[in-house]
C-alpha cells in the first residue's frame, strides 16, 4: 500500500472523520466557553485547531499526489 492509498483510506474512513470532527468541536467549545481574561486557553485552542487542519491538509496532499503525478506526465 502506497502513501497515497493509505491517505485516501484514512480520509474516507468514517471513524477518522468523526474523530477529527469531535476533536475540532472540543477545541471550539473550549474556545467559546473560555473566560474573557483566559487568552492562554484560547491561544492553545487556536493552535490545536491549526494542527488538526494541517494534519488533514497534509493527508489530502498525500492522497492527491498520485493524480498530480499522472497529470504531470501527461503534460510532458
pLDDT tens digits along 28-57:
999 999 999 999 999 999 999 999 999 999
pLDDT confidence bin for 2, thresholds 50/70/90: confident
User: For 34, which DSSP code?
Assistant: S
Phi, psi of 35 (to 5 degrees): -70, 155
What pLDDT score does 67 carry?
75
- Helices vs strands, H then E, count in the chain: 3, 0
What pLDDT score does 1 carry?
83
Amino acid at each position: 500500500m502506497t502513501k497515497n492509498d493509505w491517505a485516501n483510506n484514512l480520509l474516507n474512513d468514517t471513524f477518522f472523520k468523526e474523530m477529527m470532527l469531535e476533536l475540532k468541536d472540543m477545541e471550539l467549545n473550549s474556545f467559546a466557553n473560555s473566560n474573557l481574561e483566559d487568552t492562554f486557553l484560547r491561544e492553545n485552542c487556536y493552535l490545536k485547531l491549526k494542527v488538526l487542519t494541517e494534519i488533514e491538509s497534509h493527508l489530502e496532499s498525500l492522497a492527491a499526489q498520485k493524480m498530480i503525478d499522472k497529470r504531470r506526465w501527461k503534460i510532458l
